[in-house]
Structure 1
Amino acid sequence: MTKAVFFDIDGTLVSFRTHSISQNTLADLYALKEKGVKTFIASGRPLKMMDNLSGFPFDGYITLNGAIVYADDRIIFRHPIDPVTAGKIAEIADTAGMPCVTYCEDRLAVSMTDDTTNMTFKMIKLPPIPVIPAVEMAREPVYQFTIFADEEQEKTMILPEADKLEPSRWNPMFMDLNPKGLSKADGIRAICGHFGISREETMAFGDGGNDIEMLKYAGTGIAMGNASDNVKASADHVTGSVDEDGIGMALHHFGVL
């Protein structure tokens, strides 16, 4: 029996076309709540950037790809990047003139902006954020970097202490960097421990590369129809796309609703 369902945001719950949760999917979320099934967000976004969820009362939030997890209005798990490693990454990004978003516990900033960052921020409807050098932000604990480098640029990057970092992508234009081995699966594990739910009683939905470990870890991993092939290969089931209300299709297919 499924007791908890975890949802990625961008491309899973929220359409890139409409920038919102569809009315059908929102109705399914409330139906889950009526049945007593707990619902959680599992995103690469920080909590401050989750303003596109139609006001739905989720039971908890896995943020920054598992680096900070919230439940019952408090942090139940946190895992920052090693401070020495964070300082070195920040210095490289600033020296190379490479746009870098630095996420700390209570704030975030971008080191510089260009056409790519502006286009990306518009795509995900991100409100203006401060422009602060990454090295300045890295003076406090850093939970995630988002570096604006495509896959070809990534191949030429020399990252110090790369063995301490976990890169992932949910968009080809940038990559997230988190502590090595950390993923949304760690967030699911923390939430299951907090609420006394077994791994087998969980279901997860995702579409991006940063969802792969979560889909593998959950009792039932569901890839959206708009997911890339490697994400689909990691899932137990492939449903319709976000614009086809694929979440509802899978919830009914597995008898959760």
Structure 2
Amino acid sequence: MIKALFFDIDGTLVSFKTHTIPSSTIDALAVARANGVEIYISTGRPLALINNISQIEHLIDGYITTNGAYCFVGETAISCSQIPKNDVLFVLDKSNELHFPCMVVGDTNLTMYNTASNPEKVKHIAEMLNVPDIEYELPVEDVLNQRILQLTPFISEKQESMTLPHLVNIESRRWCPDFADFTAKGVSKAKGLREIAAYRGFDLSETMAFGDGGNDLSIVMEAGMGIAMGNANQCLKQAADYITSSVDDNGIYNALIKYHVI
């Protein structure tokens, strides 16, 4: 019996085409919640950039954010994993050396560092994710005074390979060719799943996780039932227990019907 559902946002709950949640998904989650199933978000987005799920916010029990670096249930913080400050400063130095922008995510707010090195790429990603209000002007020093939960350097795979060997305390996940998400070592969406399951007292076998990208691989493999969207990348599809239809073709609704969650 499934007691908890975990959903990635972009490409899973929210369509890249419409930037909205399909009505079939909204209806399915409402039925699941009415049936007593708990609903959780599992996203690489920082909390400050979760701007596209207002239609279902009232149904959500908790969140795995920043790829597992900050997790909470209701008003209770479950975990907060920060990147060591020397690693943060190293990445920012590389940003200057290799000329790439980098989002710096603190536990209160965030900023974009070195935007001028590639403003068009930053604009493109902001449009893709429908986040026009990314903070560009906040001085990075204001964020560095906080716990740094995630760095998102807008780097190529080649630049990433030049940077990661120097970062033994960093995990890197890439779900878009244009950037990677860096978090502290050991942080993942699967870690967030385990922490929330332990806090709420349900077994992992009673969980179902949905995703479409590389940063969803750990949670799709860890959950009792891992579901890849029809629009997911091939790696995730190979790891999933089931491949549903795409986000724009009622994928979440179809999977929840198949496994009798609704």
Confirm or deny a common fold (TM above 0.5). yes
Specify the alignment match of 1:145 in structure 2: 151
Q: Which of 109, 112, 116 is the equivalent residue of 1:110?
A: 112
Specify the alignment match of 1:15 in structure 2: 15
Specify the alignment match of 1:168 in structure 2: 173
1: CA distance between counterparts of 2:160 and 2:5?
A: 33
User: Percent identity at matched positions?
Assistant: 39
Three-state SS of the structure 1 residue aligned to 2:168 is: helix
Q: With structure 1 as the length reference, what TM-score do the two structures score? A: 0.95
Q: Which of 70, 73, 77 is the equivalent residue of 1:71?
A: 73
Tell me, yes or no, if structure 1 residue 52 matches structure 2 residue 52. Answer: yes
- What are structure 2's unaligned runs of at least 5 residues? none
Q: Which of 181, 190, 197 is the equivalent residue of 2:202?
A: 197
Map 1:76-225 to 2 at 5 A. 76-113=78-115, 114-126=119-131, 127-132=133-138, 134=140, 137-155=143-161, 157-159=162-164, 161-225=166-230
1:92 to partner: Cα distance: 1.9
Three-state SS of the structure 1 residue aligned to 2:126 is: helix
Three-state SS of the structure 2 residue aligned to 1:158 is: helix
Contact between 1:91 and 1:134, CA under 8 Å: does it hold in 2?
no
1:202-255 deviation per Cα after TM superposition (whole angstroms, max 9, x unaligned):
000000000000001000000001111111111111110111110111111111
2: CA distance between counterparts of 1:83 and 1:180?
A: 13
- Count of residue pairs the alignment pairs up: 256
Name which of structure 1's ranges 160-169 and 204-213 shifts more when overlaid on structure 2. Answer: 160-169
1: CA distance between counterparts of 2:137 and 2:19?
A: 24
Name which of structure 1's ranges 45-54 and 4-13 shifts more when overlaid on structure 2. Answer: 45-54
Contact between 1:111 and 1:131, CA under 8 Å: does it hold in 2?
no
Amino acid in the other structure paired with 1:81: I
2: CA distance between counterparts of 1:140 and 1:23?
A: 38
Contact between 1:90 and 1:135, CA under 8 Å: does it hold in 2?
no
2: CA distance between counterparts of 1:199 and 1:158?
A: 35
Contact between 1:67 and 1:178, CA under 8 Å: does it hold in 2?
yes
Amino acid in the other structure paired with 1:229: Q
Amino acid in the other structure paired with 1:11: G
2: CA distance between counterparts of 1:12 and 1:76?
A: 24
Tell me, yes or no, if structure 1 residue 37 matches structure 2 residue 37. Answer: yes
Tell me, yes or no, if structure 1 residue 226 matches structure 2 residue 228. Answer: no
Residue 132 to residue 88, structure 1, CA distance change in 2 (3 Å)? farther
2: CA distance between counterparts of 1:59 and 1:147?
A: 30
Amino acid in the other structure paired with 1:122: E
Contact between 2:111 and 2:134, CA under 8 Å: does it hold in 1?
no
2: CA distance between counterparts of 1:80 and 1:128?
A: 21
Amino acid in the other structure paired with 2:73: A
1: CA distance between counterparts of 2:141 and 2:50?
A: 26
Residue 95 to residue 152, structure 1, CA distance change in 2 (3 Å)? closer
Three-state SS of the structure 2 residue aligned to 1:143 is: strand
1:134 to partner: Cα distance: 4.9
1: CA distance between counterparts of 2:215 and 2:163?
A: 21
1:159 to partner: Cα distance: 3.5
1:163 to partner: Cα distance: 2.2
1:82 to partner: Cα distance: 1.6
Q: CA RMSD in A?
A: 1.5
